[in-house]
Amino acid sequence: MNEEPQDEVDRLVAAWRTERPDLDVEPLQVLSRVSRLAKHLDRARRAAFAEHDLEPWEFDVLTALRRAGKPYELSPGALIRATLVTSGTMTNRIDRLAQASLVRRRPDPEDRRGVLVSLTESGVARVDAAFADLLRREHALLAALAPNDQHTLSALLRTMLAPFDS
């Protein structure tokens, strides 16, 4: 007989069912696993970024610029929207990335008071290498699931997340 493997969530659910049989602990089956997986994903991401001498916040800003396409340039306001931080936080982040020669500022030709932030060649190389490493690690995290199962899980998680993202 081929039984499903047991994990820590199975053990904690069983314990709660014994200790609190009056409560429906079924949400733990999904959400405790999502929470535990998020911790493993966070570790994998931090390791990928650290290997390329990047902090998570640096990766967030650099990937926002990289996803923008050539010339890999956005306004600080667009970076704020992409990374969900305050104006003051973004100014500090841009300053630090500019000091590290990963981004540069230039006047916005469309707005005399504005600036544009763009990736340097070094910034493109660093974010590309970190992103490739991150994807290698994320593929490894998903290796236990067949591609069809990954697609199904992705669709289910999208359904759960969509109300939060709208």
- Round to the nearest angstrom and report the end-to-end CA distance of the chain: 45
CA-wise closest residue to 13 among 35, 28, 24, 31: 28
What digits encode the pLDDT tens for the residues 151-161? 999 999 999 99
Q: Residues 73-108, buried b or exposed e (16+ Cβ, 10 A)?
A: bbebeebbebeebeeeebeebbeebeeeebbbeeee
Q: Which of 54, 73, 53 is nearest to 64 (CA)?
A: 73
Mean pLDDT for the stretch of residues 53-63: 97
Q: What is the pLDDT of residues 116-134, one digit of tens each?
A: 999 999 999 999 999 999 9
117 alpha carbon, distance to own chain's centre: 21
Q: pTM score, two decimals?
A: 0.84
Mean pLDDT across the stretch 134-147? Answer: 95
